[in-house]
Structure 1
Amino acid sequence: MAKKDELGRRGEDVAAEWCEAQGMRVVDRNWRCREGEIDLVALDGDEVVVVEVKTRSGTGWGSPVEAVTPVKLARLRRLAGAWHEAHPGTGRGLRIDVVGITVERCRGHERIEHVRAAGS
């Protein structure tokens, strides 16, 4: 596995743990359809939360959440609709969150930035 893939997997694991620590329940990971892929899908009470995870090994290119552009958010909205259509009866509302993970090499831990309702 390439270092970038390892970093991304680590970020998704950290984000899933973070979401669960915030009271959400992760119900799907790396869900794919022809539109693309959703990193995480969680339930926050009755609300379905599509979580885009961005992981970086530093902030030289800006914070990870800054990498989620309006074009990416529009794609995530389409993906969220496709997931919801494929899972009828799941949840009552729909939200898109972004979780940015910055892995600090020297300390070996992660900094987490969570933007709720980024897609509204």
Structure 2
Amino acid sequence: MQNAHTALGRYGEEVAARRLAEDGLRVLERNWRCPEGELDIIVLDGDTVAVCEVKTRSEQSFQQPAEAIGAVKAQRLRHLAERWLSERWPEHFARLAQGVTERPLFVEGLPVGRRTGGMAPATLVPPDPVVPLPPGGVRIDLVSVVSQARGAARVEHLRGVI
């Protein structure tokens, strides 16, 4: 059974993801987990990958959402961002490269678009073994969501706060 705190957090993540998409950011992944923790939302902001930590509070809370990130949480987010980048960016890069780069992608050594004996390709990979980092780099953002008793939640996207 979901408690009120968990429900508020899920609500905040939904509101944050919707706002990021409305603002033109492309959501790459939500709720990515590994043994060390979780990243709430990963987006592409132009040519920058932004790892977004979502903090949600009700308007009756004494603490502002941004106050919930201390030095330990910031270090954990940096570590998780590095791990996500090493594990997941190559797959996202391969998908994005179709429309972003001019160089061809290859499937099992055959250029995409050529027939592969009637078999659908399973994985797209860039032609070279090294996947470049995002040209705009990686940053860690905070999305602050304050749920109000009446009306829409207040959402603030703070870029590069960590």
TM-score of the superposed pair, with normalisation by structure 2: 0.68
Tell whether the 8 Å contact from 1:51 to 1:97 is kept in structure 2 after alignment: yes
Paired position in structure 2 for 1:62: 63
Secondary structure of the residue aligned to 2:153 is: strand
Q: How do residues 1-120 of structure 1 correspond to structure 2 at under 5 angstroms?
A: 1-58=2-59, 60-89=61-90, 90=93, 91-92=134-135, 93-105=137-149, 107-119=150-162
Secondary structure of the residue aligned to 1:26 is: strand
What 5-or-longer segments of structure 2 have no aligned partner?
94-133
Tell whether the 8 Å contact from 1:59 to 1:102 is kept in structure 2 after alignment: no
Q: CA RMSD in A?
A: 1.3
2:67 & 2:30 partners in 1: Cα distance? Answer: 22
Greater per-residue strand proportion: 1
Secondary structure of the residue aligned to 1:43 is: strand
Secondary structure of the residue aligned to 2:83 is: helix
1:4 & 1:62 partners in 2: Cα distance? Answer: 14
Residues 8-58 of structure 1 show CA distances to partners (whole Å, capped at 9, x for unaligned) of 111001100111122111110100112200000001112111000000112
Q: Residue type matched to 2:47 in 1?
A: D
Report the identity percentage.
Answer: 46
Q: CA deviation at 1:59?
A: 5.1
Secondary structure of the residue aligned to 2:84 is: helix
Task: Give the structure with higher Rg (CA).
Answer: 2
What 5-or-longer segments of structure 1 have no aligned partner?
none
Aligned residues: 118
Residues 65-88 of structure 1 show CA distances to partners (whole Å, capped at 9, x for unaligned) of 121112211110100000000024
